[in-house]
Structure 1
Amino acid sequence: MLILPRASLLYAVCVFMSFSAVANIEQEFDELDALLNMPLDSLTETKVVTATKTSLSLSDVPASVHVITSKEIERSSARSIADVLILAPGLHVAKFSDYDWTVSARSKNQGENNTLLVMIDGRSTVNPMYSGVNWDTLPVSLDNIDRIEVVLGSVGTIWGGNAVNGVINIITKDAENAPKAQVSAAVGNFDYKEFKAHHSGQINDYTHLSGYIESLQHSPFTDKDPHFNEIRHLKVLTERFGMRADYQNQQNTVSMQFGGIRSREDYQWLQYTPAFLDPASHQNDYDAFFTEMNSQELFAGFQYLHDKLDGDQWENQLWLTHSESDGTNEPASFTRFDLDTRYTFNTQDFGALTIGANARIIDEEYAQFTEKEQYFSPYVRTIEDHEFLNQSYGIYTNWSINVTDSTEVTLGNRIQYANITEEWYSQPQVRALQKLTDNQRLWMGWGRAVITPSRLELDTQFQENYSCSSCGYYDPATGSVYDKPVNGTIGPVDYLQAYKYLGNRDLEMESVDTYEIGYRYWQDNQFQLSMSLFYSQHDNVRAYKNLGGYVYTSSAGSDTSIGTVIHDMYAQLIDPLSQETMGGEISAQWRPIDVLQVNANYSYKTIKGDCTGSICGSNDLPVLDLENTPSHYATLHIMWDIHPTVWVSSVVNYVSASEPDEALIEAYKDYGDDYLVWPEIITLDMSVNWQHKPTWPSIKVSAENLGSDQLKEYPEQYGPFANGTQYYAEISWNFI
């Protein structure tokens, strides 16, 4: 309720600014007016490539597809890719801190999300060591994005690994259309500072070149809790760069890219110093210190497309990526080689047949830790085989058949091999599209996708540690440690505790079958409506099984203890769960007048879990935890060019609270009633932009989380930071 007065006030300020500007500006706005007047493209005019790897009109894609345009990105107030994605239906975007997000599609949101494939120009950004996406270190500039294509549902036939519940393909601008001679700088609260420089130019009649550099600094959190006062000086510094060259001559198009990113994060870390290792010199349980965590990525790519005169196409992509991180949760580096080639036969009689093949080779290298070092950090990930050549090969085909003038059927399959498991697996699909009228489409489909196996879940061990001196009392009869003396205990003792989460080589392959049906309607360039319903069956879902623990004792310890107790507790990944997910998405775009565009979307999902096996008989907690997710998601985005010199924009985002089962709440009652609840989210972001003339700099003022200061977007279970209201001011100037 608090956001409405602030929204009204900001719109009033915008209107006042526009009328004040009118009194002083010149009469000639033709060029600037043309720049701002970007009409809503109809579905037939919007081209997408992610669903089929070929360029198709959005109206004729037999899948749930949404496109976020460059204009919508600019008008969204977003400062990151993850924040932009709230504009698409079917995605749950949750912000953990000022540089951590998780994004999910048609599933429960979690950090290690390997059911959503995220790409930049067709290059996977999924970290094979982490089985997820590091959203803050994606090597792409917001200003360089042409569009973001979001495909919901199974796209495994086309893209293979991780394209299970959806695909996000971030497509950058070609060199000819990239920003030219553009420099911008922005400042904001919470120590936000950003500098960007972009340029592009023509080399000859066939070749264009573009490039950019960016530097961003900000606080790692916007939580105002007094407990963080001593670490408010910490900073996150991110630097990006990219270059692109495009050559086009008749039927041949060649694109080359090179870029990278580096992130340096100030971090308060600690190292445990168990007394039994050196009792004579022991003083503290741990040494706290400030350090810097680093990650970086470099990539290079080559793309070649040949359009034959008969309509056939031959496309090749080659990518080389090197990434490394020194964080103890993913202490690894990898060098990845990706090759994809496809040939599309276009015939009037039989439709379009695409045949392709891909190869992915990843040279993985994990950091090594001694047995003692594994107990020194609060958490650490280890693996026995520190070097591994991860290989995956696949062939796929996709055939779109024109059954009648108004009916099209698509059949496809991918056969993939992974040397991690030494197995072959299949990912088929069947889809159909019916042209009801010139501006209406009905589509339906089924697809099966397999989650690419990773060494993270098969071979690694994640260890969480806790150590303190003279803080426990040991019962030799049971091997238990208590925080106060009870009958039979001895002490005080030093206590070293380690939770070890083990991978499992016997896990079955996770697979998801998805059934969908959808409808599209559009009215010229004024209105668009897309609706879809889905049902998916996800088998072999992972859970941890408690394996018990082992207690070791040592007579050595601190001066105030009689010795040390080391308690190792083990849990291992198993695959006893399955889940049924069902729901739908609605997306509408409306342009009532030329200067006003309204985008709205709503999504619903519900998860029903099941469990078979040894961990299922004692309680239902694994299933109930799987089902604990928000069900309702909605976004409203309004873009208004109130004058040729001024535009305003607002984005309202809503996520419903989750409703955990009473048995789940009861099991965690000692932590509080809201410990497991995903909180309700209502946020308002707004932007105002003013530019006197095209040759003048533009000034943009933005605000995020208006009326929702110190909002947490995760359950307390995960220990999230609160996100504060943030303000930014940006000046941007095109010198040419």
Structure 2
Amino acid sequence: MTRRPKTSPGIRPCCFMALGFLLLLCSPLRASEQEVVDLSIEDLMNINVTSVGKKEQNLSDSTAAVFVITNQDLKRSGVTNIPDALRMVPGLTVSRIDSNKWAVNSRGATSRFADKLLVFIDGRTVYTPFFSGVYWEVQDVMLEDVDRIEVIRGPGATLWGANAVNGVINIITKQASDTQGGVVTAGGGTTEEGFAEARYGAAMGDATHGRFYAKGFKRDEFERPSGEGAGDDWEMVQGGFRVDTRTTARDTLTIQGDLYDGEINQELVLPTLTPPYAESIDDTADVSGGNLLTRWQRVLSSTSDITLQLLYDVSEREEAFTNEEKENIDVDFQHHFKAGDRHDIVWGAGYQRIHDELAETSVLTYSPESRTDDLFSAFLQDEILLIDRKLWLTLGSKVEHNESTGYEVQPSARLLFSPRPNHKLWAAVSRAVRTPSRVERDGEVMLYVVPPMSTENPSPLPVVVTGIGVDDEQSEELIAYELGYRFMPTSTVSVDIAGYYHDYDHLRVTRLGTPEFKGTYIEQPFLLLHEFSSQAYGGELAAAWQVTDWLKEDLAYTYLNSDLEEEGQVGREPTHQVSLRSAVDVTKTVELDLWFRYVDDSSAAYAASPDGTYEIDSYLTLDARLAWRPMPALELSVVGQNLLESSHQEYVMENYGLPTEVPRSVYGKITYRF
């Protein structure tokens, strides 16, 4: 297996921090009246979030490890996609596999097919039953219209349900009334060969506003460690709309939808039953989908409101190793009210129907190929004021019924203590589950073929190693213990610290089955069972410092210690990760942004490796953005990404993929508003 040379051991977190402080020392720029961000540090700590309690509350009052990426953060980071934006968040591991694939998860168990993270876009779940996870490459939005991204690290199952085991990500776009007028963006560069997007919003009456958008891009291929092209270039187009209307003084109605279509190229190595028992193919994944969401909200009184949401979502994906069609119908009702002076209650109920068609491929079969699952759920959460302005207790639970494991109960207890207005201490204990995916229940996957008369297989017949799903009616389970502290020592500094201990049980693991003679080959099955226990613990830090009115620093640090990799199902997580973002207003019309990231060495589970793992070196990288506004309506910017090395490796796909490196890249961008 070809590996890139190790980075010099001198490039360590101390070097990373030194570069950040060097920036501070070398930035005596004038501009006392300039502002790096629209919100002060105090405003950011008090920004409203809705993902923690399914109601509006200040971030500082949240009893969970929550981080918010604002629209300004997205703009000044220079990112062009959601996964790269998530690198700002402490506790998340984001690794780019190749030009069109990412591995994303919270607090461990990162992989291409990570299955313990629940992701929403405007309350719409983005999910595939194939592996109970997310295809990040097709989760696209117009970043210009994103209001914020709320990220909960740790379980959120009490409100959001199964699969919200290690975290919840909620991407929230702006209301149509906040996106009036037009904006056009275009650009291109090395990896970002070309992209363009346009949005126009307008009033459609005294109480109705709407917008529509269209966007598309073409991204170039990355390279193998050998320098050869990886054949992973891709292109996508997407469009959508949103209409918000106030039908009465108490009622608000939102209707929105999206359509997308794309071609994703990839080079795969698939096992075969004929010599050389593995075939390299140039494949194109055809992806498409659409959704329509309607949300009705009614204010019953000053302390009570209800929400009803209806969703219809379809998607298709056809590639060499999987062929999927999914239809999702989701109905969700929620009621929020206050009972007396001490109880703030949220309850709700939901129904979800997922129908899938998973056709047979050369390496993957299902029995049955088509399945319809019905999920019923209800939840109740009560925030109880114990001591006025000092102490709150939140108790709640979600009860679900699914057709695989039956009833699941996911309770939590959370405590918030505020000894002083700018100091918040919280603690939580909660349970979350992940229900089995279609592969685990009904699938049979050809992982690789061991050639005959080889060291591993001295027999005259090839040995086909397969993973076979066993519907053992067992969900993966997490009991999580969390502790956090938020404080503002001054009006220009905020610190958010979280620590946790995760105790997992019934995790998926492969167990050796009985070999079976198949005439021309021997099948060696590995059964997918839920009988592995594991633990993980760690700490996360997010700090923001408004150094001057023209300079802001954002620091994120992640420490993770996990033994999830012991059974070889996932790789070893990076123990340390550091992110330092510096936003500088050089003048009123010129912005400079620098983003340093350090990621510790790690490994990935890799079936093609003799020992089943692939080692990945630590790396230090820098992104830089320089923007100029020659007039209020026009912005010109240039962005450089991964500038410290010509390329580096971040991850490798578990099966069928080849190692690929992330290159240094540059692109230019023009934004015009009207």
Q: CA, structure 1 residues 287+547, in 2 after alignment: closer, same or farther (shift >3 Å)?
A: closer
Residue aligning to 2:5: none
Deviation of 1:644 (Å): 0.9
Residue aligning to 2:310: 318
What pairs up with 1:60-99 in 2 under 5 angstroms?
A: 60-99=61-100
CA deviations 1:222-249 (Å, max 9, x no partner) are 4473443xx65x6311111110001135
Q: Matched residue of 1:677: which SS?
A: strand
Deviation of 1:686 (Å): 0.7
CA deviations 1:161-219 (Å, max 9, x no partner) are 21111111011111122263111111111462111111111111211111111111112
Q: Matched residue of 1:181: which SS?
A: strand
TM-score, length of structure 2 as denominator length? 0.89
Q: Is the 8 A contact 1:397 1:414 kept in 2?
A: yes
User: In structure 2, how many angstroms separate the alpha carbons of the residues matched to 1:412 and 1:440?
Assistant: 24
Deviation of 1:263 (Å): 1.8
Tell me the percent identity.
24
User: In structure 1, how many angstroms separate the alpha carbons of the residues matched to 2:593 and 2:423?
Assistant: 30
Q: Is the aligned partner of 1:399 residue 2:365?
A: no
Q: Is the 8 A contact 1:598 1:637 kept in 2?
A: yes
CA deviations 1:544-563 (Å, max 9, x no partner) are 1122433445xxxxxxxxxx
Residue aligning to 1:506: 472
Residue aligning to 2:587: 643
Q: Is the 8 A contact 1:543 1:622 kept in 2?
A: no
Q: Is the 8 A contact 2:385 2:391 kept in 1?
A: yes
Residue aligning to 2:424: 441
Deviation of 1:567 (Å): 3.0
RMSD: 3.5
User: In structure 1, how many angstroms separate the alpha carbons of the residues matched to 2:180 and 2:87?
Assistant: 25
Q: Matched residue of 1:74: which SS?
A: helix
What pairs up with 1:220-369 in 2 under 5 angstroms?
A: 220-223=221-224, 225-228=226-229, 235-248=233-246, 249-268=248-267, 290-368=282-360
Q: Is the 8 A contact 1:43 1:57 kept in 2?
A: no
Q: Is the aligned partner of 1:463 residue 2:446?
A: yes
Letter in 2 for 1:364: D
User: In structure 1, how many angstroms separate the alpha carbons of the residues matched to 2:103 and 2:182?
Assistant: 34
Deviation of 1:152 (Å): 1.4
Q: CA, structure 1 residues 223+173, in 2 after alignment: closer, same or farther (shift >3 Å)?
A: farther
- Bigger drift between 709-718 and 330-339 goes to 709-718
What pairs up with 1:395-544 in 2 under 5 angstroms?
A: 395-405=378-388, 406-421=390-405, 423-464=406-447, 466=449, 472-473=452-453, 482=458, 497-506=463-472, 508-522=474-488, 525-544=491-510
Deviation of 1:430 (Å): 0.6
Q: CA, structure 1 residues 727+393, in 2 after alignment: closer, same or farther (shift >3 Å)?
A: same
Q: Is the aligned partner of 1:689 residue 2:638?
A: no
Counterpart selection for 2:562 from 598, 602, 607: 607
Letter in 1 for 2:250: Q
Q: Is the 8 A contact 2:131 2:438 kept in 1?
A: no
Letter in 2 for 1:600: L
Deviation of 1:325 (Å): 0.7
Q: CA, structure 1 residues 511+699, in 2 after alignment: closer, same or farther (shift >3 Å)?
A: same
User: In structure 2, how many angstroms separate the alpha carbons of the residues matched to 1:162 and 1:716?
Assistant: 22
User: In structure 2, how many angstroms separate the alpha carbons of the residues matched to 1:586 and 1:195?
Assistant: 36
Deviation of 1:347 (Å): 3.5
Letter in 2 for 1:454: S
User: In structure 2, how many angstroms separate the alpha carbons of the residues matched to 1:635 and 1:670?
Assistant: 34
User: In structure 2, how many angstroms separate the alpha carbons of the residues matched to 1:652 and 1:146?
Assistant: 24
Deviation of 1:361 (Å): 0.4
Q: CA, structure 1 residues 510+645, in 2 after alignment: closer, same or farther (shift >3 Å)?
A: same
Q: Matched residue of 1:143: which SS?
A: helix
Q: CA, structure 1 residues 99+180, in 2 after alignment: closer, same or farther (shift >3 Å)?
A: farther
Letter in 1 for 2:395: L
User: In structure 2, how many angstroms separate the alpha carbons of the residues matched to 1:300 and 1:308?
Assistant: 26
User: In structure 2, how many angstroms separate the alpha carbons of the residues matched to 1:715 and 1:387?
Assistant: 30
User: In structure 2, how many angstroms separate the alpha carbons of the residues matched to 1:635 and 1:474?
Assistant: 46
User: In structure 2, how many angstroms separate the alpha carbons of the residues matched to 1:183 and 1:198?
Assistant: 7
Q: Matched residue of 1:131: which SS?
A: coil
Letter in 2 for 1:579: S
User: In structure 2, how many angstroms separate the alpha carbons of the residues matched to 1:669 and 1:197?
Assistant: 45
Deviation of 1:671 (Å): 6.6
Q: CA, structure 1 residues 333+152, in 2 after alignment: closer, same or farther (shift >3 Å)?
A: same
Q: CA, structure 1 residues 223+646, in 2 after alignment: closer, same or farther (shift >3 Å)?
A: farther
CA deviations 1:91-114 (Å, max 9, x no partner) are 011111111111111122122222
User: In structure 2, how many angstroms separate the alpha carbons of the residues matched to 1:601 and 1:7?
Assistant: 15
User: In structure 2, how many angstroms separate the alpha carbons of the residues matched to 1:441 and 1:458?
Assistant: 44
Q: Is the 8 A contact 1:154 1:165 kept in 2?
A: yes
User: In structure 2, how many angstroms separate the alpha carbons of the residues matched to 1:142 and 1:162?
Assistant: 26
Q: Is the aligned partner of 1:707 residue 2:648?
A: no
Q: Is the 8 A contact 1:329 1:462 kept in 2?
A: no
Q: CA, structure 1 residues 659+211, in 2 after alignment: closer, same or farther (shift >3 Å)?
A: closer
Deviation of 1:676 (Å): 3.8
Q: Matched residue of 2:131: which SS?
A: coil
CA deviations 1:454-490 (Å, max 9, x no partner) are 22211111113559xxx85599xxxx954xxxxxx8x
Deviation of 1:678 (Å): 3.7
Structure 1 unaligned spans of 5+: 23-28, 277-283, 375-379, 483-488, 554-564, 610-620
User: In structure 1, how many angstroms separate the alpha carbons of the residues matched to 2:413 and 2:383?
Assistant: 10
Q: Matched residue of 2:584: which SS?
A: strand
Deviation of 1:160 (Å): 0.1
User: In structure 2, how many angstroms separate the alpha carbons of the residues matched to 1:705 and 1:44?
Assistant: 30
Letter in 2 for 1:694: P
Deviation of 1:445 (Å): 1.0
Residue aligning to 2:578: 634
Letter in 2 for 1:145: V
Residue aligning to 1:546: 512
- Bigger drift between 165-174 and 345-354 goes to 345-354
Residue aligning to 1:209: 210
Q: CA, structure 1 residues 641+576, in 2 after alignment: closer, same or farther (shift >3 Å)?
A: same
Q: Is the 8 A contact 1:608 1:627 kept in 2?
A: no
Higher strand share: 2
CA deviations 1:620-656 (Å, max 9, x no partner) are x944776832211111111111111110111111111
Letter in 2 for 1:449: A
Q: Matched residue of 2:671: which SS?
A: strand
Q: CA, structure 1 residues 93+474, in 2 after alignment: closer, same or farther (shift >3 Å)?
A: closer
User: In structure 1, how many angstroms separate the alpha carbons of the residues matched to 2:475 and 2:178?
Assistant: 43
Q: Is the 8 A contact 2:259 2:289 kept in 1?
A: yes
Q: Is the 8 A contact 2:88 2:579 kept in 1?
A: yes
Q: Is the 8 A contact 1:157 1:414 kept in 2?
A: yes
Q: Matched residue of 1:176: which SS?
A: helix
Q: How many pairs align?
A: 656
User: In structure 1, how many angstroms separate the alpha carbons of the residues matched to 2:35 and 2:323?
Assistant: 51
Q: Matched residue of 2:241: which SS?
A: strand
Residue aligning to 1:385: 368
Q: Matched residue of 2:445: which SS?
A: strand
Residue aligning to 2:617: 679
Deviation of 1:434 (Å): 1.0
User: In structure 2, how many angstroms separate the alpha carbons of the residues matched to 1:391 and 1:581?
Assistant: 32
Q: CA, structure 1 residues 346+481, in 2 after alignment: closer, same or farther (shift >3 Å)?
A: closer
Q: CA, structure 1 residues 519+290, in 2 after alignment: closer, same or farther (shift >3 Å)?
A: closer
Q: Is the aligned partner of 1:575 residue 2:541?
A: no
Q: CA, structure 1 residues 683+264, in 2 after alignment: closer, same or farther (shift >3 Å)?
A: same
Q: Is the 8 A contact 1:420 1:455 kept in 2?
A: no
Q: Matched residue of 2:115: which SS?
A: coil
Q: CA, structure 1 residues 219+274, in 2 after alignment: closer, same or farther (shift >3 Å)?
A: same
Q: CA, structure 1 residues 597+286, in 2 after alignment: closer, same or farther (shift >3 Å)?
A: closer
CA deviations 1:412-447 (Å, max 9, x no partner) are 0111000133x1110001111111111111111111
Deviation of 1:359 (Å): 0.8
TM-score, length of structure 1 as denominator length? 0.82
Deviation of 1:669 (Å): 10
